[in-house]
Every structure is written in structure tokens, then in C-alpha cells.
Structure 1
Amino acid sequence: MVARWTALPVLAAVALLTTACVNPADSGTATATGSATSAPATGGPKRIGFFGFAKANSFSTATFAGIEEHAKANNATAEFLDSNFDAQAQVQQLQDAVTAKRFEVFVVQANDGAAVVPAIRSAVRAGISVVVHFTPVGNRYDTAEPQVEGTITLVDVPTVNGEGLGRLAVEACKSKKLDPCEVGYFEGLKALPLDNARTQAAVDVLRATPGVELKAQIEGGYTQESGRKAMQDVLQKDPGIDVIIGASQAILGAEAVAKDKDILYVANGASRQTVKAVQEGRWYAAYYLPVKTLGAKAAELGLNKALGRPVPTTNLATEVDPGKAMGTKEALAQVTGEYDE
């Protein structure tokens, strides 16, 4: 979850974000079309353009698997336009797609919510159904409400995600019964506005909690390699760290570095590996979102809008499979995850 799902980020957080392999046909405990309630599309096939974070990102690829599966079941096609985390490249892709009239539906995971606003407005004016997916489009990262008139949102509010990660870390500290409890926070990418908003929300929770000390705040990224490097840097300065928060991919790397340390991990992500780590007790908790199911839901909303059917304009990612976002061992007991890192 850029990440942050990485959660959950990423992002995530973001939610839920990394280089990884995904089996699009494998949906875990939830089917990609399970949230779809509409009748099959009529009047000719519709075309969905998915403007995802990156094709090399497991979260985005899992999202697209859900979009594509729902599209095929509803007389539509789907295409992944890869910006590879480049905000300006994504803006250009959106502009080109509007000009070429390539799609009736856009599903957009914005790398920079503010940068894409003009292109999104152009798409709405052109009659394209635009679903803002996972991260907000606009300057605010504390609301799920559409910030561009005419769009539909299906987002995980970054500040809510960050607060959730912070609360899970506080719970982890309480479980260790330490005072003080030393916490390290692995920010995703400092260049991403959504990561900055998520980080600040998490940090605010930690700093407001008596007995919790934020000992390290460092860019952890969305790969195992970046997580390993961040963990090495943290341990050099604070070898007694008790809890680490970060994207699930980064946590995998951190865990490999700190094998002999008694550290509790809070992950922002929703992969099968993340869920298993929580269920086995290796990690304390994860901010969980059903990523593939959310892709299917985004396709459902966009296609219904393109067909003139009424759709809710504001949709929260955490309400698609409620009760699991704060993914402790108990909350994820019956979950397997919907994609692989």
C-alpha cells in the first residue's frame, strides 16, 4: 500500500508499492468481481484506461487484475498505462488519452494529486467517467470527497491511513509494556505528497502518546532493498529500537536485517506475505485493504457512470471490506490476501 494498504502506504501505503510478481487470476479470499452488482454493460464494449503508479508495483498490478477481470465480465476492455511513479509522465499520459479519445473510463492512481488536476478536469469535460482510486486528486489529503467536480472517488484517505499506522504502533508498544517504547517510522517516498501527509498523521499520533518515543524517521521506500538500507541506518544509531512502521515491502527487507532483534513490525500493505507474517506473529499488525477487490469496484463505478447509471460519488476503500483495515492477528484471522509481493 503506497502504499499505504504499505499499506494499506500504498500506497499506502501507497497504500499499500513495490517491484514484485502478481498472479492476476488468484484472488485470495475475495473475488475481484465480488463487489460488482451491476448488470453486464450494453451498447458496445467500453474501454477503461488504468493510470496506475507503476507496472512494476505489486499494489498497482493487483489493482489492475481486479479492473481487468471486472471489465471482461462486463463487455469492456482495460489497459494499464505505466507512468513508473513519474508524476509528469502520468500527466502527459492523461492528456494524450483525452485528446485521442481512447477510453470512456479512467481509473487514476495519482502519483501527484495536485499535478493531475488540469488533465482530470479535461477528461471530465470530454465526457469521460473518472474514478479517483486510492489516492486523492487535489491538494487535500485528509478527505475522501471529490476535489474535481464530476469525478468519483474510491480512496484510502492518507491522513486516516497514517493515523491508523500510528495507533497500531502504539498498541504494539503497549503489548511490549515498555516505557519508553522506541519507534522508527519508515516514510515511503519523501517526494510524494501523499506520503508526506500520511507520515505527518502517523508522527502526530506517536508524539502525542506518553511513553512512546519516535527515535527514527527515515525514507524506507517501497522495496525490500530500500527497507534493508533503512533498517541498517536505524540500527547503527538506535540498536534498541522496539517498533518499526513502514510499507510492507520495506518491512520485509528490515526484518531480514534485524533477525536477532526483538522488534515488532507494523506494515502498510495487504499482500499474502504480509497477512501471513501477521498471522504467524512475526509482525504485530498490518493496515489491510482488499486490493484486487478495490480494482474491481473502481471498474464497476466507472462503467456504471459511463452507462448513465447512478453511482455514489464518494467511496471509502476501507468500507469495501470493513473491519479489517486495522489488521491485527485477530482481525486478519480469516484473510489470505489478494496478491503476492
Structure 2
Amino acid sequence: MIRIARPLAVGLAAVAALTACSNPNNNDNAAGSAASAAPADKKLSIGFFGFAKANSFAQATWAGVQEYANANNAEATFLDSNFDGPTQVNQLQDAVTSKRYDVVIVQANDGTAMVNPIKQAVAAGITVVVEFTPVGGKYDTAAPQVPGTINIIDPPTVNGEGLAKMGLEACKTVTDGGCKVAYLQGFANYPLDTARTEAAVNALKAGGATEVISNFVGGYTPDSGRGAMQNLLQAHPDVNVVIGSSQALQGATPLAAGKKITFVGNGNSTQAYDFVNKGTWYATYALPEKAEGAKAAELGIKKARGESVPDSTVACEALTDYNCLGTKEALTGKTADYSD
């Protein structure tokens, strides 16, 4: 599941329903028809402003976007910002000026910096879908923060709370007494990660974890995860549960061999599923990102053609029957969206 302004997690995390988030099945606040609806026989052009072409998570989104677009008289293009916020801002501003796209789908590297260019896109009559991460200053909601946009979001705070919920459950599988939990941050001082980390740590403490360690940065690669785990074990050899991006935990997991430690990942990769199914990890936050990409394309195309669609969708509520809480039981019979 699951990150995001550099090598992503996205890893990626989950889902206690927030009252601030709109019900994805409620059309009372539906995004209305575009100012000038495209005829059904017009081939629409979609610009996908993804995190980075080199990122497996963004590639899963892209696969869903392409699949839906190709089946519904639309053509999609991946604009690669390579995790760079200013580059992505410039790309979208250029797209607004050139009027190249009928629909844009945005995975924001910097949700605050993208506010103005997205406002410009909406004002220019372009259908805008904000996908996965919020655009604006709030990280606890899927509700639109830029008027006129369609939003299909996994709120970072909801992600963090879901990781904490699974972490507390994992404690019961490795200890009968107090439980020491380590939360490996994605990136330090990155707004999305900061919001997710704070939500996870608060929920772990409120849920009864004996100690919560959150000062190690696991990042979104096996190498960074391995380094964080080495430092963690030196400082806290008695840790019981480790939570982090699925990529980071792939590097961290081998270091726990022979120790009574279990893991909770943040990502929907084939590797994460394999760890959970084998019992090496207790669970992973399993957001079906390819399905989310397809849904983003569907909502954007429908609105561009004049249909009314919801302006706010909480991804894990709409796309899964397990709120992305991917325990072994929940993932039985399900297939991962991508490989790390």
C-alpha cells in the first residue's frame, strides 16, 4: 500500500471509517456534469500524473487506468515526474495551457503544491480526478479540498489507523504480556508520511501497546528497510511487532529469523501477499491499486461525458470487503495487484 514523494510505498495503509469522509455510495454531493460534455463517440485523452514510472505502485495504478481507458474509447498517457513535486506542478500547468487532455488523474507528490494547478485545470474545463493521496492540507479525509474535483482517496490517517489495528492484533500472536511495537516511517518530515505516522502511533498507544518506537525511517526499498531494522534491533532487541512499507519489510524480515517478531506491511504486492500467506507477516494493508486506477479512469471518463459521479470515494470502503486489512484470512482467494 502502500508511499510517495520518492520511492513509494506505498507502501503503502488503513481503514477505520472516518466521519469526515464522504460515503462513496452517496451521490448527494455528486460531481456534476462537465461544463461541455464530450459526445459518446469522441475518443477522450487522459493524462495520468503518476508518482513515477519506475515505481511498482504507480505502475499498478497505470495498468488500471490503461485497461479502463482502452475499453472505453479513451487514450491514456503517463506523465512521469519521478517523485518530484515541482516537476509535477510544471507538467500539469503545461497540460492546462496546451489543453492536451480531457481528463487528468493526479497522484500528487506534493498535495499542497498541486492545489493551484488543479484549480487552473478545473477552471479550464478539464475533468480532474485526485487519486490515492489528498490534494490540499488535510490528510484525514477523502472529501474534495479543491472544488470541482473528483476524489478517490486512501486518507493517510485512515491508513495509519488501519496499520495500528493490525499491529495490535499481531501483538497477540507473539506475546501474552506487554507488546513493544516499532513503526518504521516512510520518509521523515514528508507531510503524507507525517500524518500517517502520527495516526498510527496515536492508535497504537491508545490500543494498549506497552511501548511504541517511531524514530526509525524504513523508507520504501528493501535496502533502507534492512538498515532501519539493523538499527532497531541494536537499540530494541526485545521488539515484538514491526510495521512498515511492504518494500522496507522485505529487507527487514530476514533479520528477524529465529526471533519472536512478526510484521505488518503496507502494500498490496505479490511479495507482501506471500509473506502473509506463509505466516511470516501477520498482515499487510492491501489496497487494490490497479482497481483504484481503473475506478479513477471510470469516474473521470463518465464525468467528461456528462454523467453525474460521486465527488468523494474512500478507496478501501469502495473497492474491498475487508477495508484493506489484509490478514491471511481476508486475503484468501485474492490476487495481488503488482510486484515490488
Question: Contact 2:181/2:209 (CA < 8 Å) preserved in 1?
Answer: no
8 Å Cα contact 1:179-1:211 kept in structure 2: no
Matches within 5 A, 1:270-281: 270-281=268-279
Instruction: Provide the rounded CA distance (Å) in 2 between the counterparts of 1:192 and 1:211.
Output: 25
**Quick one: which amino acid aligns to residue 210 of structure 1?**
G
- Helix, strand or coil for the counterpart of 2:216? strand
Counterpart for residue 33 of structure 2: none
Question: Compared with structure 1, are the counterparts of its residues 152 and 135 closer, same or farther at alpha carbon in structure 2 (3 Å cutoff)?
Answer: same
Question: What is the aligned partner in structure 2 of residue 3 from structure 1?
Answer: 3
Q: Which residue of 95, 98, 101 corresponds with 1:100?
A: 98
In structure 1, distance between residues paired with 2:258 and 2:198 = 30
Q: Secondary structure at the match of 1:82?
A: coil
Letter in 2 for 1:311: V
**In 1: Cα distance, 2:62 partner to 2:150 partner:** 18
Residues 1:288 and 1:14: Cα distance change in structure 2 (over 3 Å): closer
Partner-residue secondary structure (3-state), 1:77:
strand
Q: How does 1:151-162 map to 2 (within 5 A)?
A: 151-162=149-160
CA distances 1:288-325 after superposition (whole Å, capped 9, x unpaired): 11111111110000111111111111111112122251
In the alignment, the residues of structure 2 paired with residue 172 and residue 211 of structure 1 have an alpha-carbon distance, to the nearest angstrom, of 11
Counterpart residue type for residue 155 of structure 1 = I
| Number of the residue aligned with 1:337 | 336
Residue 109 of structure 1, aligned match among 107, 110, 135: 107
Q: CA deviation at 1:10?
A: 4.1
| Partners of 2:174 and 2:261 within 8 A in 1 | no
Residue in 1 aligned with 2:78? 80
Deviation of 1:3 after TM superposition, in Å, equals: 3.1
Equivalents in 1 of 2:93, 2:13: separation in Å? 24
**In structure 1, what is the equivalent of residue 236 of structure 2?**
238
Q: How far did 1:44 drift?
A: 1.9
d(CA) in 2 for partners of 1:175 and 1:258? 15
- Give the structure 1 partner of residue 19 of structure 2: none
1:323 aligns with 322
Judging changes above 3 Å, is the alpha-carbon distance between structure 1 residues 216 and 116 closer, same or farther for their aligned structure 2 residues?
closer
Q: Which runs of 5+ in 1 are unaligned?
A: 16-40
- In the other structure, the counterpart of 1:57 is 55
AA aligned to 1:218 is: F
* TM-score (norm: length of structure 1): 0.88
- What amino acid does structure 2 have at the position aligned with 1:115? A
Q: Distance in 2 between matches of 1:150 and 1:105?
A: 13
- Distance change >3 Å, CA 99–CA 203, structure 1 → 2: same
Please give the root-mean-square deviation of Cα atoms over the aligned residues, in Å.
1.8
Q: Secondary structure at the match of 1:150?
A: coil
Query: What do the CA deviations read for 1:113-161 (whole angstroms, capped 9, x no partner)?
Result: 1110000000000111110000001000011100000000000011111
Deviation at 1:51, TM superposition (A): 0.7
Q: TM-score, normalised by structure 2?
A: 0.88
Q: Counterpart of 2:67? A: 69
Describe the shift of the 1:253–1:328 C-alpha distance in structure 2 as closer, same or farther (beyond 3 A). Answer: same
* Paired residue total: 313
Match of 1:19 in 2: none
Matches of 1:86 and 1:182, distance apart in 2: 35
Q: Which residue number corresponds to residue 249 of structure 1? A: 247
Measure, in 2, the Cα distance between the counterparts of 1:51 and 1:202: 28
> What is the DSSP-based 3-state SS (H/G/I as helix, E as strand, rest coil) of the residue aligned with 2:130?
strand
Q: Among the aligned pairs, what percent are the same residue?
A: 53
CA distance, structure 2, for counterparts of residue 14 and residue 86 of structure 1: 22
1:338 Cα deviation from its structure 2 partner: 1.4
Q: Match of 1:266, SS?
A: strand
Relative distance call for 1:80 and 1:66 in structure 2 (3 A) is same
Contact 2:174 2:260 in 1 (8 A): no
- State the AA in 2 paired with 1:82: D
Q: Secondary structure at the match of 1:154?
A: strand
- For residues 156 and 84 of structure 1, the distance between their equivalents in structure 2, rounded to whole angstroms, comes to 21
Cα distance in structure 1, aligned partners of 2:299 and 2:98: 23
Cα 1:339–1:286, aligned 2, differ >3 Å: closer, same or farther? same
Aligned to 1:21: none
Q: Which moved more, 1:289-298 or 1:321-330?
A: 321-330
Deviates more, 1:208-217 or 1:293-302: 208-217
Instruction: Give runs of aligned pairs for residues 255-274 of structure 1, distance below 5 A.
Output: 255-274=253-272
Instruction: Tell me which of 305, 316, 325 is aligned to 1:307.
Output: 305
Distance, in Å, in 2 between the alignment partners of 1:335 and 1:87 is 34
Supply the distance in 2 between the matched residues of 1:2 and 1:192 (Cα, whole angstroms).
15
Amino acid at match of 2:255: V
For residues 277 and 2 of structure 1, the distance between their equivalents in structure 2, rounded to whole angstroms, comes to 15
Q: Give the Cα separation in 2 of the matches to 1:301 and 1:90.
A: 22
Tell me which amino acid in the other structure corresponds to 1:332: L
5 Å-filtered alignment, 1:112-127, equals: 112-127=110-125
Letter in 1 for 2:325: M
CA contact (8 A) 2:49 2:78 kept: yes
Gaps of 5+ in 2: 15-38
Taking the TM superposition and a 5 Å limit, the aligned residue runs for 1:129-208 are 129-208=127-206
In the TM superposition, what is the alpha-carbon distance from 1:201 to its structure 2 partner? Answer: 0.2
- Residue pair 2:13, 2:163 contacting (<8 A) in 1 also: no
Q: Distance in 2 between matches of 1:63 and 1:13?
A: 13
